[in-house]
Amino acid sequence: MPYRSPAAGLLGIENLTRAEIQTILDRAQHFQPKTGESFPKLDLLKGKMVVNLFFEASTRTRTSFEIAARRLGADAVSITAQASSVSKGESLVDTLNTLSAMRPDAIVMRHAASGAPLFLQRYLETPIINAGDGTHEHPTQALLDARTILDRGAHLEQLKVAIIGDIAHSRVARSNVYLLSRYGASIVLCGPASLLPRELTHIAPGVTLTTDMNEAIRDAGVIMMLRVQLERQHEASFPANEYFQFYGLRLEHLRLAKPEVIVMHPGPINRGREISSEVADSQRSAILNQVENGISVRMAVLERVLLGATNNAGTTH
Ligand code: NCD
């Protein structure tokens, strides 16, 4: 098997420069629909084929990769692990080699093992786009989060962002820490002590930890709430019935934040567990804007991966 540079796909935010991130965000803005219109139907990726291979549950990410590919004129096929030969005992490498032999132009992949896409990319001709690997990275989520913050008129450089919840198991938190720290944002990670990994503070000087939700939210311009990822917790790390009392976002918390604070959540949300319905449905909530931006950001990422990073440089608006 030939060894190829992992740069071909998109495996994480960690290895992207601020300029590369900005190019994707600008290009995503270019793909956003005008108010009241639907996403543009283009033929930039006409003749290209994208395979979505999801070994974990997904509503938003898989659908929006599929829509993004089609909006750019590519064909998209989605496969879930339950419906694939993985359930017949085929190894991950064999599954990926089989799909690769059908010559798709990119494989979008979600897997429960951190590092699975990086491992596979070393042996595959086909570029891999990471749609979430274990507790490691979820690059397109961080990109769509940044696009959403910018759309609300905030500046990433001067921003205080509170990321609250199950930080330890969150690939969304990790990718956001990489991205936001490139811009110099100050990032407060907040949750029960058992779910706050100290190693994330080593990523950038602006990253701090607290178990106190009020402290995290005070003067924040963005509050990102995270789901408690019980599927990744092998033993109880906090009393589940007290979680909402200490780490659930309620309307009264918003008074501590900046008046223009944006409340975000990657979804799926659990109302009454990490966020109250009043907050999730409030004017401050950008949760559905995040979903919408998932399409334009994934259009920008697919274009970059399938046509090459240099092709769209300079054409951004
Ligand atoms: C997130 C994920 O899968 O990492 N969801 C998503 O992609 N929108 C977060 C989560 O599952 O809680």
Superfamily of domain 153-285: Aspartate/ornithine carbamoyltransferase (3.40.50.1370)
Cβ(184)–Cβ(206) under 8 Å? yes
Cβ neighbours of 17 (radius 10 Å): 9
Least confident of 55-64, 143-152, 173-182: 55-64
pLDDT, position 3: 44
190: exposed, middle or buried (Cβ count in 10 Å: 0-12, 13-18, 19+): buried
Tell me the average pLDDT of the chain. Answer: 92
Cβ(79)–Cβ(51) under 8 Å? yes
Q: Is 141 in the pocket of ligand 1 (CB under 6 A)?
A: yes
Report which protein residue has its CA nearest ligand 1's atom 7: 61
Substitution candidate for ligand 1 out of 59, 141, 174, 230 with most atoms within 8 A of CB: 141
- Cα 194 to Cα 250: distance, rounded to the nearest angstrom: 22
pLDDT, position 260: 97
Task: Report DSSP letters for 261-312, one per residue.
Answer: -EEE--S---BTTTB-HHHHTSTTB-HHHHHHHHHHHHHHHHHHHHH-TTTT
Least confident of 23-37, 72-86, 134-148: 72-86
Return the bridge partners of 54, or none.
80, 110
Cβ(116)–Cβ(93) under 8 Å? no
- Helix or strand (DSSP H, E) at 180: helix 171-182
Could you tell me the distance, in angstroms and rounded to a whole number, from the CA of residue 286 to the centre of ligand 1? Answer: 16
Report which protein residue has its CA nearest ligand 1's atom 1: 266
Could you tell me the distance, in angstroms and rounded to a whole number, from the CA of residue 61 to the centre of ligand 1? Answer: 8
Q: Are 18-137+293-307 and 153-285 the same fold in CATH?
A: yes
Structure tokens given for 210: 């607290």
- Cα 165 to Cα 179: distance, rounded to the nearest angstrom: 19
pLDDT, position 317: 33
Could you tell me the distance, in angstroms and rounded to a whole number, from the CA of residue 265 to the centre of ligand 1? Answer: 9
Q: Is 267 in the pocket of ligand 1 (CB under 6 A)?
A: yes
- Cα 194 to Cα 273: distance, rounded to the nearest angstrom: 18
| Full strand arrangement of the beta sheet holding 75-80 | 75-80, 49-54, 106-111, 128-133
What is the tens place of the pLDDT at every residue in 4-35?
A: 444 489 999 999 999 999 999 999 999 999 98
What is the tens place of the pLDDT at every residue in 144-164?
A: 999 999 999 999 999 999 999
**What is the DSSP code (8-state) at residue 20?**
H
Task: Report DSSP letters for 149-177, one per residue.
Answer: HHHTT--GGG-EEEEES-GGG-HHHHHHH
Structure tokens given for 22: 């900005």
pLDDT at 170 over 50: yes
- Helix or strand (DSSP H, E) at 142: helix 139-151
- Helix or strand (DSSP H, E) at 51: strand 49-54
pLDDT, position 84: 74
148 SS3 class: helix
Q: Which amino acid is at 272?
A: G
pLDDT, position 235: 66
Q: Is 138 in the pocket of ligand 1 (CB under 6 A)?
A: yes
pLDDT at 261 over 50: yes
User: Tell me: domain 18-137+293-307, CATH 1.10.10.60, correct?
Assistant: no
Could you tell me the distance, in angstroms and rounded to a whole number, from the CA of residue 314 to the centre of ligand 1? Answer: 32
Q: Is 132 in the pocket of ligand 1 (CB under 6 A)?
A: yes
Cβ(237)–Cβ(195) under 8 Å? yes
More confident residue, 123 or 47: 47
Could you tell me the distance, in angstroms and rounded to a whole number, from the CA of residue 311 to the centre of ligand 1? Answer: 30
Substitution candidate for ligand 1 out of 138, 229, 287 with most atoms within 8 A of CB: 138
pLDDT band at 240 (very low <50, low <70, confident <90, very high): confident
Q: Report domain extents, the chain.
A: 18-137+293-307, 153-285
Span 167-180, mean pLDDT?
97
pLDDT, position 53: 94
pLDDT at 301 over 60: yes
- Cα 294 to Cα 286: distance, rounded to the nearest angstrom: 12
pLDDT band at 239 (very low <50, low <70, confident <90, very high): confident
61 is catalytic: yes
Q: Which amino acid is at 120?
A: L
Cβ(159)–Cβ(133) under 8 Å? no
pLDDT, position 236: 65
Could you tell me the distance, in angstroms and rounded to a whole number, from the CA of residue 126 to the centre of ligand 1? Answer: 25
> What atom of ligand 1 comes closest to residue 170's alpha carbon?
4
60 is catalytic: yes
> What atom of ligand 1 comes closest to residue 294's alpha carbon?
8
pTM: 0.94
pLDDT at 312 over 70: no
Report how far Cα 308 is from the mean position of its chain's Cα atoms: 21
Q: Is 232 in the pocket of ligand 1 (CB under 6 A)?
A: no
Q: Which amino acid is at 209?
A: L
pLDDT, position 309: 59
